[in-house]
């Protein structure tokens, strides 16, 4: 029997207004054994509030913070870039721990270039998430 691969990350967060995409991506992450904890948000605003609430826990919150955040760009109310601007205002602890991966259907070169302006954005992946994408993450 094959040995189960070691979990790489304590927690991962998905931010996408499309619930079907969230479900598919959730299943992909589960299957890859990347993490045991997956936080799913259908809006960037609720995701920012979630991170702010974790910060209020100070050092206890650090263990809950997701190391990876998969972020969609095109969302109502607050898009992915507005999320990044808000993320920039969070604590250094959060910004150090969380690495962001743009996970989007946008193939617009302007979006790709714009995402590179943010230090926290480590990768730009086109939907859907695949096992191959996850294996090659390396962030």
Give residue-wise pLDDT tens across range 67-84: 999 999 999 999 999 999
Sequence-separated (6 or more) residues with CB below 8 Å from residue 118: 84, 88, 100
- Is 13-135 a domain of CATH 3.40.50.2300? yes
Residue 43 has pLDDT above 90, yes or no: yes
Is residue 138 pLDDT above 50, yes or no?
yes
Q: Which residues are CB-neighbours of 89 under 8 A, at least 6 positions away? A: none
Q: Cα dihedral angle (27, 114, 86, 131), rounded to 10 degrees? A: 10
| Cβ(63)–Cβ(35) below 8 Å | no
- Asked if pLDDT for residue 2 goes beyond 50, the answer is no
């Amino acid at each position: 029997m094959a040995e189960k691969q070691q979990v790489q990350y304590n927690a991962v967060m998905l931010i996408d207004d499309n619930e079907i995409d969230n479900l598919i991506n959730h299943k992909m992450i589960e299957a890859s054994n990347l993490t045991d904890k997956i936080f799913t948000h259908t809006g960037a605003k609720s995701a920012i509030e979630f991170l702010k609430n974790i910060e209020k826990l100070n050092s206890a919150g650090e263990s809950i913070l997701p190391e990876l955040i998969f972020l969609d760009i095109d969302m109502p109310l607050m898009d992915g870039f507005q999320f990044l601007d808000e993320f920039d205002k969070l604590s250094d602890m959060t910004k150090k721990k969380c690495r962001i991966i743009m996970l989007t259907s946008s193939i617009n070169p302007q979006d790709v270039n714009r995402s590179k302006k943010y230090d926290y954005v480590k990768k730009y992946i086109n939907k859907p998430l695949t096992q191959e994408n996850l294996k090659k993450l390396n962030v």
